[in-house]
Structure 1
């Protein structure tokens, strides 16, 4: 297929394949006129196939369509499908296409039985069913292999795809995310969700040093200048520039390569990445949809394309389409990346229960994935279970105690827990022991000790907390929350001079931290400096209103998924 010039809508497909994949892959992205056109093309294509039997007139005919699969849900091509009408002498016969689908158009009203057979599998028969006038019915038949060991489905797919118990149905408004007093908890849930998503956005590791990469770029630039008509040179240079984070510079070379070899999948994929990196999401979507159309024609699923399309739909503000593409990618290839991004998308849009299901199964398949455990812990916290969150964050830390990321997730929990658990205290003590010269480690351990202290009379703990906080701000002079906590400590001691100095350093490091202005205003009140107190409290009010508006806008942008559960098993479902 020529990918050098791609329309914003996919080209027409073979009718039988369109029947199987029409609504799933293309339906949500096409106009009504295009859908009607493609449906007509599908009908014309199917009518040209050899199907034997009696048919009704087009005006009052019904249609039967569906697919034939193995027990793991894999579509089976070349299966023979028999449709027997009650009282009829000869069955109508069809064969599944390369996508495992069949279709019987122009059927008379009446009762039918469906049967499918394929070499190496036992036959499958449906129960009796009725086709009415102008009715379209869908039936899926599952064939069991004659020998279990002949099943060709990958073990990972068999293990994971016992069909998710949920379906994302749409989105809803998020103006009311909790009752009175829940704002801190809601903010922590949102922060953990963002932290989880960020784990999937890391830059790809490079296999060579920057100097060698730059040298390769220079060599390829010279080659492209001497041989502008060389496909390999243009493609390699464009790919290298994409990997270096220079998508706009890559576009001319990849577009030229596309004209030189329009059928190159590898170049079309890199060109899509360049469009994405250049924020040209409409062209990126058109190109990846064209690639998917070709893959479907060749009866090949492509997980990386669906994953890429999920990224693009997310950028275009289409969360439902994005999560469906991530799910398709995971179904085709349940890799760590595909499962993690699917779960992260669900979590980001506040579908905690489905996210728990995906991360749990991802953890089962990839027990050594730290980020899968962090996603699972974040999902449990979003679902309301602090203990489960701590457990999974600690498990993530145990996989690699030197990795600071799990400890940072644990630190998030301190904002809502009045008395932290013993396990959390032990882990954050381990963090500062392993990384004593890390500002965040010293701050996190100081904060949890502060919450565990017995009260103002606990001078020993207070001194230890002060020492840890002083070290934290020494290691990172821009650590605003470190100065803030020092101010809280000095205020409790009634050392108001040091408290005010600490709060002043807080707002110097982060002028938008409204709590610092509020606490400084309260201290000024206690010292009788009422004018300064009013000024700080006015700043606090302004910042609070501004932040509330920002939070509301963000929550409206990140809409909440509405999902339906399929036959939930009580023992397997997370409880409220």
Structure 2
């Protein structure tokens, strides 16, 4: 016989609390999320697989001493999720997660006005909190109600000046409305409030990429990396910036400048393969096959599982007439 603590821990992990016995919002949220997850899984699997999934879950619940598995159709499951989340909101009006999932459940049920009303009630119940206004603004964005979304994001920032999500969505709203300069100004303001964080610089870099100002984008991504050198997202974006800038020079017939960009990329990212792949491609364009092969070899040494690195090295050998060496790379 499991102890009460063990039983409650299992209910949280599985999201399968027995129907009618929920006494705390945390368990209610777990149960509602479980229903939503199962609804998504039914879309991705066959009916037979879903039936087996429900049957296995029913066995798990039965082992915990419950007599029934309270699952109906997709629509019924969604309605039950809504009921559970509404109960959680009543119990804890300040529970951001409850409002978020209740709003999501309404959206999935095609009841967008109810989803919006959920966050509106959240703002009334939590007048000093920024999260309900961010949630409301996001829904307005989905409905192309950009000005209303902007107003909510601004209000969230007034309430919580360090709310990064509010700043990010405010900038996105301006961007979607074609107001790129204002979108940039938002992130520049964030830098003043959060000078030691990388994400504002990532946002600025993305906006400069949209403007095709690749050099500025690369600069902002470099700043992000300097602040958070272990953030993989920053490296992915700076790679895009360097690759795009190098490609722009390459297409414009300025190969030397393209090479300099890749060399700079190698300095900034000494342990990554992509700058060397770029250099190899540029040397291939110039017909400098030995240098191209050398750069491809460097890329492979850094990332041995990079399949297209071997393919490019094989092409370099093939162009030099060394078919045997090329075949080794292709194999």
Range class of TM-score, shorter chain:
0.5 to 0.7
For residue 298 of structure 2, the aligned residue among 468, 471, 480 is: 468
Aligned length: 277
Q: Tell me the equivalent position of 2:127.
A: 300
Q: Output the CA distance in 1 between the equivalents of 2:119 and 2:264.
A: 51
Give secondary structure in 2 for the equivalent of 1:401.
coil
The structure that is strand-richer by fraction is 1
2:282 is aligned, of 438, 451, 456, to 451
Establish whether residue 215 from structure 1 lines up as the match of residue 10 from structure 2: yes
Q: Could you report, residue by residue, the CA deviation over 1:325-362 in whole angstroms, capped at 9, with x for unpaired residues?
A: 33443343232221123223444665422221111111
Which one of 341, 350, 362 corresponds to residue 190 of structure 2?
A: 362
1:107-506 equivalences in 2 (<5 Å): 215-217=10-12, 221-222=16-17, 224-225=18-19, 228=20, 230=22, 232-233=23-24, 235-240=25-30, 246=37, 252=80, 255-256=83-84, 258=86, 262=90, 264-266=92-94, 270-276=98-104, 279-280=107-108, 282-283=110-111, 285-292=113-120, 295=123, 300=127, 302-316=129-143, 321-334=148-161, 335-347=163-175, 351-413=179-241, 414-415=243-244, 416-418=247-249, 419-420=257-258, 425-433=263-271, 441-448=272-279, 450-451=281-282, 455-457=286-288, 459=290, 461-471=291-301, 474-477=304-307, 482=309, 485-486=312-313, 489=316, 493=320
Mark the runs of 5 or more structure 2 residues left unpaired by the alignment: 1-5, 40-76, 250-256
Residue 398 (structure 1) shift: 0.9
Q: Deviations over 1:372-431 (max 9, x none)?
A: 111112212323433221211111111132333222212213133423485763443443
Query: d(CA) in 1 for partners of 2:38 and 2:94?
Result: 16
Cα distance in structure 2, aligned partners of 1:470 and 1:260: 54
Greater C-alpha Rg = 1
C-alpha separation between the residues in 1 aligned to 2:191 and 2:8? 35
Q: How many Å separate the matches in 2 of 1:301 and 1:283? A: 27
Distance 1:463 1:212, change over 3 A: farther
Between structures 1 and 2, the one with greater helix share: 2
How far off its partner does 1:321 sit?
Answer: 4.7
The whole-number CA distance in structure 2 between the counterparts of 1:497 and 1:321 is: 65
Judge conservation of contact 2:202–2:220 (CA < 8 Å) in 1: yes
Give yes or no for contact 2:134–2:165 (8 Å, CA) kept in 1: no
Unmatched tracts of structure 1, length 5 or more: 1-210, 434-440, 506-576
Q: CA–CA distance in 1 between the matches of 2:297 and 2:263?
A: 17
Distance in 2 of aligned mates of 1:343 and 1:359: 7
Give matches, 1:73-112, under 5 Å: none
Q: RMSD in angstroms over aligned alpha carbons?
A: 4.5
* Contact kept? 2:134, 2:153, Cα under 8 Å: yes
Say if 1:213 and 1:499 are closer, same or farther in 2 by CA, change over 3 A: farther
Which structure would you say has the larger RCO, counting Cα contacts within 8 Å and 6 or more residues apart? 1
Q: Which whole-Å CA distance do the structure 1 matches of 2:299 and 2:158 have between them? A: 48
**Structure 1 partner of 2:252:** none
Q: CA deviation at 1:247?
A: 8.3
